[in-house]
Structure 1
Amino acid sequence: MKEDNRPHIGPDIKLPETTLKAVLLGVLLSAILAGANAYLGLFAGMTVSASIPAAVISMAILKLFRKHNILENNAVQTAASAGESLAAGVIFTFPALVLMGYWQEFNYLETALIALSGGILGVFFTIPLRKALIIDMKLKFPEGIATSEVLKTGEAGGKAIWLLVFGGLFGAVIKFAEAGLKVWDGIFAKAILTKNNLLASFSLNLSPALISVGYIVGVKISVVIFIGGVISWWIGIPAYVYYFGNPDGLSPVDLGYSLWSSQIRFLGVGAMVVGGLWALINLRKTLTFALRTGLRSFREVPDGTELRTDKDTPMKWVILGIGAMIVPIFIIYLREIHDVGITILMSGIMIIAGFLFASVAGYMAGLVGSSNNPISGVTIATILTSALILLALMGEDATGGPVAAIMIGSVVACAAAIAGDNMQDLKAGYILGATPFRQQMMQLTGVVAAALALPLVLDLLNTGYGFGPKTPENPDSLTAPQATLMQSVAEGVFGGNLPWNMVYIGMAIGVAVIIIDKVLEARNSEFRIPVLALAVGLYLPFELDSAIMLGGLMSWIISLRRSSISVPDLKAARQRSDQAGLLFASGLITGEALIGIVLAIPVAIYGSSDVLAITNGEMPSWPGILVIILVCLFLMRLAIRAYNVKEK
């Protein structure tokens, strides 16, 4: 999609942007989308950008008012998308504190403060980088451009909202039938173990939300994630079983999950560490240029003649804001570390890591979009590094060491997640002609709303479902893949029981993938293998990898089907088709996530996941398979029909 260098709204035109209704709607959507993406991330291990759905919702609602404009809509989606991004940083780390047994429930004040501080730092860290990454480097920022296009064609917003609503209702009904009424088993899983210790397994999560995630990220990323799952589940686990057998006599399915949990998923840790370091190395020149530009902007004093579309948050505010956020973080760290000197050191490491990785996240958002940002990679690298430093300074007997490492990682994760989203939104604003300062204020507003809502959502989900591997007490537990991994790394470093052999093998896989990807790049191949996407596949349960892959295949099949249809305006047809599929898929995700949160309420009250069940005993999975087939067919029909529609 070619970008027009001229702003949609010229700098000499002033339109109301941060109106009262825009702020209130942004706050509401930020809290709702934060809750929905928190559930999705704990369930699926991935989150997706909410900018376009938020823009469509905003357009539909603001049309009810006599006065509204495109920049006001952009302000709403800026605040709303902050909730989704902050949720990613929070759910990748905070549940680890519950899994560790450090918290029995989510400490509201600490959770909100750390999320708030990390999110605000993410906004402030990227403000001095805006001109370098968006204007000077002219990075693609695909989701920012797509959001601006949706807003510019806003007259379709009233009709498009029904795709979101219908998808939401569809996703909610399916989730209620599966998780509430227990009509079918949500996971199809089969495995066999021969006498020669040859293990073969396959599993598929029957969730429309996961299919939608794969559809949104596309077939290329889905394939890479699936390759990671194949390495772990079809190569790593069978090889381990072949050499070491099944001494505990577990069933084939349970054996696979046991080895994945205790050994194989740490391949993903090694690959992620390599991927995080590679991102820094590979982008060193680019980041150096961006940092120089940013530091220069700190020294520049506005002379009052700058254009409206160039006006950022004053650098004095940025510096004061960063300093203010360090205070609560320092106090919380000190409670765990109990040493002022070490706390000062770790706070400094957090600020440096946060700034570096926020810069990486902002740049990567410009290259591949915020949905594909390496948040998991930078977080695992931060936690592993912090844990090793704390171990060297505090010793193995330091009870607060693993907790401190997780809290350091949580701030960095929140900052990196928000940084990518902020740059994406600022790119959309740059194309539309928004005022950067006002967008940055709306981003901060969205961060505050999400930070206040997320602790309540997390506590409700923990009470209703629980986190981590499924147990008899928590049969519907949310797997929280990243959080369980962060827990294992932090505790493993201090306990001395981290399976380093698996980590080293994962590092070797990461290096091999980077080499293969560079070869593909040299050959100008359209297919690439991002190491961090493969690392995600390595540590996810296979039923998630396969479901995401199915969604990616759907996007590929739709693209093939579209290529066989002749239309008058190819660009417009693709935009219609992409938007129809994206909005319906986003609705499926949001509906399933929100009903999942609602279902946690009766489960928490009655202490049983079967409180609404209408079936007893073993549940079949075939009804869920039929539902997934119908969802896929309907998604295909919707996207193709939108592509082939006759324009008036």
Structure 2
Amino acid sequence: MTKLSIPQVDGFVEIAIYYLYEHLLFWYDKYKIVNAGGFGSYLFGMSSKVAGLTTELKDADNIKDPKLGWMIGFMFVVSFLGLFSLVPLRKIMIIDYKLMYPSGTATAYLINGFHTAQGEKLAKKQVWLLGKCFIGSFFWGFFQWFYTGGDDCGFSSFPTLGLKAFQHKFFFDFSSTYVGVGMICPYLVNISVLLGGILSWGIMWPLVENQKGNWFPADISASSLHGLQGYKIFIAIAMILGDGVYNFVKVILKTSMSFVAAYRKRSTGTLPVSEDDQPDIDPSVTYDDEKRTEIFLKDQIPQWVAYAGYIAVAIISIITLPHIFPPLKWYYVLVTYIFAPILAFCNAYGCGLTDWSLASNYGKLAIFVIGAWAGSSDGGVLAGLAACGVMMSIVSTASDLMQDFKTGYLTLASPRSMFISQILGTSMGCVIGPCVFWLFYKAFSDVGEEASEYPAPYGIIYRNMAILGVQGFGSLPKHCLTLCYIFFALAIVVNFVRDMVGKKVARFIPIPMAMAIPFYLGPYFAIDMCIGSLILFVWEKVNKPKADSFGPAVASGLICGDGIWSLPQAFLALAKVKPPICMKFLSRSMNVKVDDFLSRS
């Protein structure tokens, strides 16, 4: 285990905190493998047990039952590409674009709260406030748990804006995590997310839903991609891709132009120091920012390591994956790896803005593209699900790595040490994750059955997506592709306008990537984030110096406390301890019917 290099750290508490962070990062990578490994979704959807729940494409070519050996091998060949894909762009994402990565920023503030250059007295106040918010957020999550004893129960389903608005996901769900995220994210990002939610769930989806029976069947399942869900997922993907591709191309062009300019300058024999070479001084850059940038760029990860690592792992995968999944031909894998860095950039960019990783959406895109390419007659379902796993692993680990690089940047940690820690943690996760799933799978013989305690609903959902995918994009509901083209182009146009009008005007133009996130998820978390922004805005108006000093501590405490609560909540679920109360909200007319029914029984 390599040690994180933190300069200017003294005292037992500070050292203990940084060692704790190092080991948490190391073990967190194992969890991320389980999350992106698809053990309850695409990977389990390959099994004969899930295939038996479907009505078509249940032949042997489209089934792959879980086995410990191939699962470990699969995890090893797909989990490392994301780590190498965006390493060359880490400076652009963290320093040039100044993306927030709210969870990474919150972790950094939690660590830095124990050691600050602004003085011991201020540090103690920050740590005390952070601790109070941390404890309050933790116990608020604990309190909410008591009221979640059923589906759609609890404060997270509180119709704060009315039942009609709740049906369209406009409500405040009392999430301290996203109130804290809203306090960290720039105002423009939060407003963009809210505008995206209003545009989609407030205007577009109700209009599309009115076309039920015309654009798509009226009796179709709400989760089917043949219906409204298809519009939500693919229009969101189109908008995200438009924004991501635009910024990716812009980065490539700027990099190429800088290389050309450097070559011309060298060839013309310009003196090492001249008036043209004097750097522009940005008065907004503080000494702390300069120091962070210096440390972040000093301990470089060589570019050739990233390129060679990506190519080497890609070659191994192209050779290995067709042996694990025969329908997944080598050229499918090759094409996936050619486009994967672009999609990884899109996901990491969106995660840096809003803290949401949409890895599952990119996986669904891979299901459609590869499944349609393979076709139903040549194991297309299995090929699509396997391609989903490949894509999800790449884009998920890429955004998670950038999140950790952001933490390292703010804490003056060694990027090289963090990268090595990621590789070691990922390696262990590739073994531990499949082993734990295998033990669970063998211990409970009814896993995946509808009437069991562990029905694994996402397994059947992903398999049905793959069945739909082999039919091609033409199987999507009416006008879905046309709307995708429009929103893809719209994202590019908005970005182009933002670049042309200058910073003073651009700060009033919404960000397409941030607007796209609620297209699929809903605007409820956007309301949380905007409340966080409102709290910070009022605080700054009342006492700006205090808000600047203590705002990040409050936000970090809210995020970390709510996040830590998920650990005991998981233990309670494993121990089969269920919440005692279901708090659910009904309309007055529905309540009358319920009371009448209960009085008769």
Shorter-chain TM-score bucket reads: 0.5 to 0.7
Question: Using a 3 Å threshold, how does the CA distance of structure 1 residues 535 and 415 change in structure 2: closer, same or farther?
Answer: same
Amino acid at match of 1:386: I
Q: Does 1:343 align with 2:337?
A: no
Q: Does 1:323 align with 2:312?
A: yes
Pick from 348, 371, 386: which aligns with 1:387? 371
Checking the alignment, whether the CA contact within 8 Å between 1:330 and 1:343 is kept in structure 2 is no
Other-structure match for 1:141: 99
Measure how far apart 1:236 and its partner are. 1.9
Other-structure match for 2:291: none
CA RMSD of aligned residues (A): 5.0
Pick from 222, 228, 236: which aligns with 1:264? 228
Measure how far apart 1:558 and its partner are. 0.8
Pick from 513, 517, 538: which aligns with 2:519? 538
Which sits farther off after the overlay, 76-85 or 123-132? 76-85
Checking the alignment, whether the CA contact within 8 Å between 2:82 and 2:393 is kept in structure 1 is yes
SS in 1 for 2:97: coil
Matches within 5 A, 1:535-574: 535-540=516-521, 545-567=522-544, 569-570=545-546, 573-574=547-548
SS in 2 for 1:154: coil
Other-structure match for 1:404: 383
Q: Does 1:601 align with 2:574?
A: yes
**With structure 1 as the length reference, what TM-score do the two structures score?**
0.62
Instruction: Tell me how far apart the structure 1 counterparts of residues 441 and 141 of structure 2 sit (CA, whole Å).
Output: 18
Question: Using a 3 Å threshold, how does the CA distance of structure 1 residues 103 and 622 change in structure 2: closer, same or farther?
Answer: same
Instruction: Tell me how far apart the structure 2 counterparts of residues 90 and 233 of structure 1 sit (CA, whole Å).
Output: 31
Give per-residue Cα distances to partners, 1:384-411, cap 9 Å, x unaligned: 33223323xxxx2123x22222322322
Give the length in aligned residue pairs. Answer: 506
Question: Using a 3 Å threshold, how does the CA distance of structure 1 residues 66 and 260 change in structure 2: closer, same or farther?
Answer: closer
Matches within 5 A, 1:16-55: 18-19=2-3
Instruction: Tell me how far apart the structure 2 counterparts of residues 358 and 535 of structure 1 sit (CA, whole Å).
Output: 16
Instruction: Tell me how far apart the structure 1 counterparts of residues 14 and 155 of structure 2 sit (CA, whole Å).
Output: 49
Checking the alignment, whether the CA contact within 8 Å between 1:287 and 1:360 is kept in structure 2 is no
Other-structure match for 2:301: 312
Question: Using a 3 Å threshold, how does the CA distance of structure 1 residues 317 and 498 change in structure 2: closer, same or farther?
Answer: closer
Amino acid at match of 2:571: V
Question: Using a 3 Å threshold, how does the CA distance of structure 1 residues 95 and 107 change in structure 2: closer, same or farther?
Answer: farther
Question: Using a 3 Å threshold, how does the CA distance of structure 1 residues 181 and 334 change in structure 2: closer, same or farther?
Answer: closer
Measure how far apart 1:562 and its partner are. 1.4
Instruction: Tell me how far apart the structure 1 counterparts of residues 194 and 79 of structure 2 sit (CA, whole Å).
Output: 31
Instruction: Tell me how far apart the structure 1 counterparts of residues 110 and 218 of structure 2 sit (CA, whole Å).
Output: 57
Measure how far apart 1:89 and its partner are. 3.8
Give per-residue Cα distances to partners, 1:310-331, cap 9 Å, x unaligned: 3426946973675357536743
Checking the alignment, whether the CA contact within 8 Å between 1:237 and 1:260 is kept in structure 2 is no
Other-structure match for 2:248: 283
Instruction: Tell me how far apart the structure 1 counterparts of residues 166 and 90 of structure 2 sit (CA, whole Å).
Output: 50
Checking the alignment, whether the CA contact within 8 Å between 1:113 and 1:328 is kept in structure 2 is no
SS in 2 for 1:240: coil
Measure how far apart 1:85 and its partner are. 5.5
Instruction: Tell me how far apart the structure 2 counterparts of residues 307 and 166 of structure 1 sit (CA, whole Å).
Output: 34
Measure how far apart 1:337 and its partner are. 2.6
Checking the alignment, whether the CA contact within 8 Å between 1:187 and 1:203 is kept in structure 2 is no
Give per-residue Cα distances to partners, 1:420-457, cap 9 Å, x unaligned: 33234335545655433222111213323444455577
Instruction: Tell me how far apart the structure 2 counterparts of residues 283 and 566 of structure 1 sit (CA, whole Å).
Output: 39
Which sits farther off after the overlay, 75-84 or 416-425? 75-84
Instruction: Tell me how far apart the structure 1 counterparts of residues 430 and 202 of structure 2 sit (CA, whole Å).
Output: 37
Matches within 5 A, 1:221-300: 221-227=192-198, 228-231=200-203, 233-240=205-212, 258=222, 262-271=226-235, 272-273=237-238, 275-287=240-252
Checking the alignment, whether the CA contact within 8 Å between 1:273 and 1:380 is kept in structure 2 is no
Other-structure match for 2:560: 586
Give per-residue Cα distances to partners, 1:215-271, cap 9 Å, x unaligned: 525532541452333345432213426x689976xxxxxx8x738764011113332
SS in 1 for 2:149: helix
Question: Using a 3 Å threshold, how does the CA distance of structure 1 residues 362 and 553 change in structure 2: closer, same or farther?
Answer: closer
Pick from 84, 89, 95: which aligns with 2:41? 95
Amino acid at match of 1:412: M
SS in 1 for 2:80: helix
Instruction: Tell me how far apart the structure 2 counterparts of residues 517 and 149 of structure 1 sit (CA, whole Å).
Output: 31
Instruction: Tell me how far apart the structure 1 counterparts of residues 192 and 398 of structure 2 sit (CA, whole Å).
Output: 22
Give per-residue Cα distances to partners, 1:442-494, cap 9 Å, x unaligned: 12133234444555777869999x999xx9848998876xx887655432121
Measure how far apart 1:307 and its partner are. 12
SS in 2 for 1:507: helix
Give per-residue Cα distances to partners, 1:135-171, cap 9 Å, x unaligned: xx73313236665555444245864355334423431
Give per-residue Cα distances to partners, 1:46-66, cap 9 Å, x unaligned: xxxxxxxxx9xxx9xx97x57
Give per-residue Cα distances to partners, 1:520-577, cap 9 Å, x unaligned: 665624354444544443333xxxx25313312321331342144135x25xx23412
Checking the alignment, whether the CA contact within 8 Å between 2:192 and 2:512 is kept in structure 1 is no
**With structure 2 as the length reference, what TM-score do the two structures score?**
0.66
Instruction: Tell me how far apart the structure 2 counterparts of residues 106 and 276 of structure 1 sit (CA, whole Å).
Output: 33
Question: Using a 3 Å threshold, how does the CA distance of structure 1 residues 287 and 69 change in structure 2: closer, same or farther?
Answer: farther
Which sits farther off after the overlay, 442-451 or 453-462? 453-462
Q: Where does the alignment leave 5 or more consecutive residues of structure 1 unmatched?
A: 1-16, 24-54, 193-198, 249-254, 295-305, 604-610, 624-648
Question: Using a 3 Å threshold, how does the CA distance of structure 1 residues 245 and 265 change in structure 2: closer, same or farther?
Answer: closer
Percent identity between the two aligned chains: 14
